[in-house]
Chains A and B, each alone.
Chain A
Amino acid sequence: MTTGLLFALTGAALFALGVAGVVLIDNLLRRILAFNLMGSGAFLVMVGLAQRNDVADPVPQAMVLTGIVVAVAATALALALVRRLHALTGKLELPEESDRD
């Protein structure tokens, strides 16, 4: 097993951890963290698989670099929306299905 493959396997585990977090956690701040964990897992899989034969391929690396910047922008937008929600309702959770009418 090469180091690259080990990175990819770790990335797969992080991705699943993130998915479970997004589904199970109600607190929006922690859900955003879980969402970022998903992203980091996906990036690790891409970079890791691309260099599993020990020679790095620059194309996936450049793609992941782009992806990281977009993930930062999406996280900041999500945080701004959560802050707005907190200012309007005082809560850090989305309303339950039964609360809406």
Chain B
Amino acid sequence: MRRLSVIALALAFVALLIGAMLELGPAAVDLRGPVAAHLVQSGVSHTVTAVLLNYRGYDTLLEIAVLLLALLAILAALGDMPDSPTRAAHPVLQTLARLAAPLMIVVAVYLLWAGAFRPGGAFQAGAVLAAAGVLLHLVGLIPGWSLPRLRLRIGLAAGFVVFLTVAALLLMQGALLKYPPDMAGGLILLIESGLTISLALILAGLFLFLSQEEGGS
């Protein structure tokens, strides 16, 4: 009975929403014009990167903060984990992973650089690097992570700290994250480099911290 009513409600909701979307008029706010008009001052020539790191930089600042917070919460929920031995995978898989990992690092650097003028950027680069870490772990070449030491902690926080420092310094100049046009390109590249390293470590950490055998309580 409950099942049927939920399904009926969901179907009614879809019908309503689809009806509303088909009737939708033109957008009340069109931001394409303003975005394109200020692209020259933004320091990058790709619109999505300009929005992410310049026009709405505080969204990205809060985003990396949320990621860091999620990782901290996961570390808090982990409990005590014994170091579990890594199981070595088949040699063919290991060799393939050894070949793929350096290529993935090259791709990540390219994505980071390409973000300024075409689709790409820190998040995509970080995701590729994290995938390389997960791949190496799955074939048994690097162990899962237990509680992070100082060096790893610095790496995890670096992106957020760099971003926050730039934001604070710019706040003294006037407004939060309002880059001077002649420095914008360099600042965005600096922030994106920090973000890439931290994102890669955080995303890999989401997998590698959780991959330890659960020790019970």
B-contacting residues of A (Cβ < 8 Å)?
Answer: 5, 8-9, 12-13, 15-17, 19-20, 23-24, 49-50, 52-53, 55, 57-59, 61-63, 65-66, 69-70, 72-74, 76-77, 79-81, 83-84, 86-88
Contacts and interface: CB of A to CB of B under 8 A. Distances in A.
Given A16-B14, A24-B3, A79 B35 contact: no
A73 B214 contact: no
Given A81-B77, A86-B214, A66 B35 contact: no
B70 A77 contact: yes
A23 B2 CA distance: 10
B74 A76 contact: yes
Secondary structure at chain B's binding surface: helix, strand, loop or mixed?
helix
B59 to A, nearest CB: 5
B7 interface: yes
Interface residues of B, number: 49
24 contacts: A12-B17, A12-B21, A16-B17, A24-B2, A49-B21, A49-B24, A52-B24, A58-B35, A59-B55, A59-B56, A61-B48, A66-B52, A66-B59, A69-B123, A70-B66, A74-B70, A76-B71, A76-B206, A76-B207, A77-B73, A77-B77, A80-B77, A81-B77, A87-B79
Contacts of A55: 32
Nearest to B53: A62
Nearest to B49: A62
B30 interface: yes
A9 B21 contact: yes
B43 to A, nearest CB: 15
Nearest to B13: A16
B180 to A, nearest CB: 22
A83 B74 CA distance: 10
B126 to A, nearest CB: 9
Contacts of B107: none
Contacts of B69: 73
B206 A72 contact: yes
Contacts of A8: 21
Which of B74, B78, B216: most chain A Cβ within 10 A?
Answer: B74
Contacts of B79: 84, 87
A20 B60 CA distance: 31
Contact of B216 (A69, A72, A87): A87
B32 to A, nearest CB: 5
A50 B24 CA distance: 12
